[in-house]
Amino acid sequence: MFAIFKKELRSYFINAIGYVFVGVFLVVSAILCCYTTLGQQSYSTDNYFTFMIFAFIILIPLLTMKLFAEEKKLRTEQLLLTAPISVWQMVLGKFFAAFALFFGATAVSCINFFPLYAYARAERAAESYSTIHIGPVTAEIFSCLIGILLIGAAFISIGMFVSSLTENQLAAAVITVAIIAAMLILEIVNQYITVYAIRFVIDWVCVMSRFDNFTNGVLDFAAILYYLSITGVFLLLTVRVYDKRRWG
């Protein structure tokens, strides 16, 4: 699995997709931070993280569209299927490579919050009775980071599954964009549904509604389990696709 992981991680920076992803991720995160938290002179970061999740509609397919589609296009898929590794090792190696790049870009984007902390400390120093408490701000940022990492992992697993179904990278990207967009827009659509039973079901499966607690600095373990379940289900579906191809 580690060999697959290294190969995939290296490939991101051979064909420039890795540089494009990291560059776009950091630019988008900086712009959103300037126009939300810093632009509104607020210590609340919930709008920033919410908009970042919607940016995943474009960002995540950049990571996942090549994972399996490229193997089919280059006719190297059979080398993977006949390699002395299990399908699970192959799938997890590719998944962790994509997630490692996503995690790295997210970690680097945290520099956006340095001005926020600097301003908060300066304001506290200037006012003896300042009501600013850095602890809650840190808790909110930390919980939101955990939330978007989990959501990113879920979306990466979805993109991997789509990529395993086609050899056309553009098609894989477009389908992944459509699926992620549909999952995120559910909450907006749900506001216009009057039937309580339907609203309840949509709210239960909605990705964004489960993120609300993270924006309040609370680690919602039910939401964590939900995001991990989505990740596990689509990884399993990808494994089943390649199990069928290996033995079919």
- Read off the pLDDT of residues 135-183 as tens digits, 9 standing for 90 and up: 666 788 899 999 999 999 999 999 999 999 988 899 999 999 999 999 8
pTM (2 decimals)?
0.91
The per-residue pLDDT for range 69-127, each reduced to its tens digit, is 887 777 777 777 777 788 899 999 999 999 999 999 999 998 888 776 666 555 554 55
> How confident is the model at residue 200, as a pLDDT?
77
Residues of the chain with pLDDT > 70, as a percent, come to: 88
- What the block records as the tokens of 61 is 């397919």
DSSP letter for 130, please: -
Q: Which long-range contacts (CB under 8 A, 24 or more apart) does 48-55 make?
A: 48/112, 49/144, 49/147, 49/148, 49/211, 49/214, 49/215, 50/208, 50/211, 50/215, 52/28, 52/148, 53/148, 53/151, 53/184, 53/207, 53/208, 53/211, 54/184, 55/28, 55/29
Higher-scoring residue by pLDDT: 58, 202? 58
Reply yes or no on whether the pLDDT at 212 is more than 70. Answer: yes
Q: Looking at the predicted structure, is the pLDDT value of residue 195 above 80?
A: no
Cα distance between residue 193 and residue 95, in whole Å: 36
* pLDDT tens, position by position, 177-187: 999 999 898 87
189 falls in which pLDDT band (50, 70, 90)? confident
More confident residue, 16 or 56: 56
User: pLDDT value at position 104?
Assistant: 95
Tell me the average pLDDT of the chain: 85
